Amino acid sequence: MENGKRSVDDKTILDEFAEDFCRVIEKYVVYIVCSGFVAIAHGRTRGTEDIDMIIEKIPKEKFVKMHDELREGGFVCIQSEEPEKIYVDYLERGNSVRYVRDEEGFFPPEMEIKFPKDELDEEQLKERVKLPLTGVDVYFSSIESNIAFKEEYLGSEKDLEDAKHLRIIYEGKINEEKIKDLKERIRKIRYENEK
């Protein structure tokens, strides 16, 4: 790592997997990579086998084309080979699906994709950013969104450590008012929807 920025030589299997997957899907959807991989891509050392992704809701026909190109690119969906079934039985019902590289006997890493759950996810998609400090050429949800969700909504020890790591990396560059507002909106919107 030079000058606090990761170089191409620093890329991990997760980084390469994320970039390869995103090169295919960005032709079809607006997406964000969020949650744990954001902290990991910023140098936090912790184990994970999956990368969380939210994609905009698209029509079934467009999803089928995207799925077919993912298959051509060497990715397979764990839940089903049938794109219509993936779309109707999983994504439309608010469930996530996982894609892995199509390599015999080798599953991790996994890309876990889902449609937006509510207006909070929709906003994250609109505010997506590339984060140069990661050295990974994908769109992420904002640092403030990641911190707010990890501290307010997810709240596990691992999530709180991820948020702490991001706060250290972006010290002096974080919009605390935005985090506070997001936390209030998470309590109002996300918790209300889950009752």
CATH code of 112's domain: 3.30.460.40
What's the domain count of the chain? Answer: 1
Domain-embedded: residue 58:
yes
Domain-embedded: residue 124:
yes
Q: What is the full per-residue pLDDT of the chain (195 aa) written as tens digits?
A: 343 444 445 788 889 999 999 999 999 999 999 999 999 999 888 777 789 999 999 999 999 999 999 999 999 999 999 999 999 999 999 999 999 998 866 678 999 999 999 999 999 999 999 999 999 999 999 999 999 999 999 999 999 999 999 999 999 999 999 999 999 999 999 877 776
Residues making up the chain, counted from first to last: 195
Domain-embedded: residue 144:
yes
CA distance 135 to 122: 25
Burial 139-158 (b: 16+ CB within 10 A, else e): bbbbbbbbbbbbbbbbeeeb
Domain-embedded: residue 3:
no
Closest CA to 1 of 189, 160, 132: 132
Written as one letter, the residue type at 17 is F
Domain that holds residue 144: 8-193
Instruction: Quote the pLDDT of residue 75.
Output: 95
Domain-embedded: residue 127:
yes
Helix (H, G, I), strand (E, B) or coil at 20: helix
Domain-embedded: residue 70:
yes
Domain-embedded: residue 150:
yes
Q: Indicate yes or no: pTM above 0.85.
A: yes
Domain-embedded: residue 185:
yes
